[in-house]
Structure 1
Amino acid sequence: MAASVKKQVSEQEWQARVDLAASYRAVAMFGWDDLVFTHISARVPGPEHHFLINPYGLMFEEVTASSLVKVDLQGNKVMDSDYEINPAGFTIHSAVHEAREDAHCVMHLHTAAGIAVSATAQGLLPLSQQSLFALSSLSYHDYEGVALNPDEKSRLVADLGDTRFMILRNHGLLTCAGTIADAFLGMYLLECSCQIQLKAQASGQELILIPPQILAGIQAQAKQVTRSAGGALAWPGILRKLDRTNPGYDQ
């Protein structure tokens, strides 16, 4: 199957498929997956508004480049596939892709830590260095039930604005970026922030919040820390680890 799909798509699309499949497997590797639920989508390079998303029913650790499903903004398949997609999942993703030309990749997860923080009135607190990266571009969206209502799209997009990180209240986490690697790094930072916060709160000790003036300067510092490379700095190492522990995503 891999050979037949690879022959049908451009070199650029195949590379996007390989990176997106790797991101699914990396999410599973870090233990952030939720059985077959939640999604990571990526825009197919080119003028068409076509997108890749996971085949509904496969575990994240099973996703391959060739099994990803190509759809349009309405969630209709634009290339033959034996798999279907989750319509509720694509409601969120299509809304972000349609509104944000810069959001080539959208990652949405239901991690226990992320949902726990999303259910607190204060949300994410400036408790760690990791949290500052997320807080520099963070928005919130209130829970409206399972995302099947098209009307929710406009409200979600309005809440997202031009931010790169979103906490969906009582639901989970979302990141969007211009590359798959950047969306993954964003989720890594956001998820770590939630885990650290819960552990700090569970200690019962008085919490020390990072001063607001430090938060104000974090965006410039973020570029220095990653050498302006964003997720591309860590992505090759993630791929090498996958090649050692769970190869085959590029098939």
Structure 2
Amino acid sequence: MCSNSLEENPHLVDDQKDGQLKEWRNLLLDIGDRISIYQPEQDGLTFPELPVFETLEQERQHRKERLVAACRAFALEGFDYGFAGHLTVRDPEHTDLYWTNPMCVHFDKVKLSNLILVDHQGKVVQGDYAVNRAGFVLHANVHEQHPDIISMYRLHTTYGVAWCATGRPIDPASPRMPVPF
């Protein structure tokens, strides 16, 4: 048997692993002028960055457009059962107000012109449609308690609705499940 066999020198494996780990660590930590380890090093490629807005109106428009796009995406994915759900995004200027999809408007019919602006008391500040009361209760409290949260959503998925119809609680899938279990 060779003297550098793994049976006689198990530390060789550890030394090799340590060397590989150090090499990977150095590669990951050596980002140079890049803002992230994931930013491409190859010339001509870009790295997605958060948009910068010159005005609050531009940021508001951006957020509202993304809200409408999210509603449309949820419609395409079939998350459109019954009242379907609700999405909110905080207004960048009036941070105690948020934009949301209107009650009883199908996700694929949501557009910039029918979004509503709502305060934490459930009053529609701008728009012609009613607010989803369930959405108001859930989202207003979270938005009020966590000013750092810009956007949130709640959906009534097909499988979620079907499961709820059984009346059974959800079984814990792991010991790390939330406290109710």
Q: Is the 8 A contact 1:13 1:45 kept in 2?
A: yes
The residue that corresponds to 2:48 in the other structure is none
Q: Which residue of 1 aligns with 2:136?
A: 90
Q: 1:140 to 1:96 in 2, by over 3 A?
A: farther
SS in 1 for 2:114: coil
- Structure number with greater CO (CA < 8 Å, separation at least 6) is 1
Q: 1:34 aligns with which of 78, 81, 86?
A: 81
Q: Which amino acid aligns with 1:102?
A: D
Letter in 2 for 1:25: R
What is the CA–CA distance in structure 2 between the aligned matches of 1:37 and 1:112, rounded to whole Å? 9
Pairwise CA distance, 1:61:
0.3
1:141-156 matched pairs, under 5 angstroms: none
Question: What is the TM-score when the length of structure 1 is the normalising length?
Answer: 0.43
Q: Deviations over 1:17-63 (max 9, x none)?
A: 10001111111100112233421111111253110111222110000
Task: Tell me how many residue pairs correspond in the alignment.
Answer: 124
Cα contact 2:139–2:152 (8 A) shared by 1: yes
Q: Identity of counterpart residues, as a percentage?
A: 30
RMSD: 2.8
Q: Once the 2 structures are TM-superposed, how far is the Cα of residue 108 of structure 1 from its aligned partner?
A: 0.7
The answer as to 2:113 corresponding to 1:66 is: yes
Normalized against structure 2, the TM-score is what?
A: 0.58
Contact 1:43/1:104 (<8 A) preserved = yes
1:163-197 Cα offsets, whole Å, 9 max, x none, are xxxxxxxxxxxxxxxxxxxxxxxxxxxxxxxxxxx
Larger radius of gyration: 2
Structure 2 residue runs of 5 or longer lacking an equivalent are 1-55
More helix by share: 1
Alpha-carbon deviations, 1:122-174, whole Å to 9, x = none? Answer: 44626xxxxxxxx98x7577xxxxxxxxxxxxxxxxxxxxxxxxxxxxxxxxx
Of 10, 24, 27, 2:57 maps to 10
Q: 2:100: which partner in 1?
A: 53
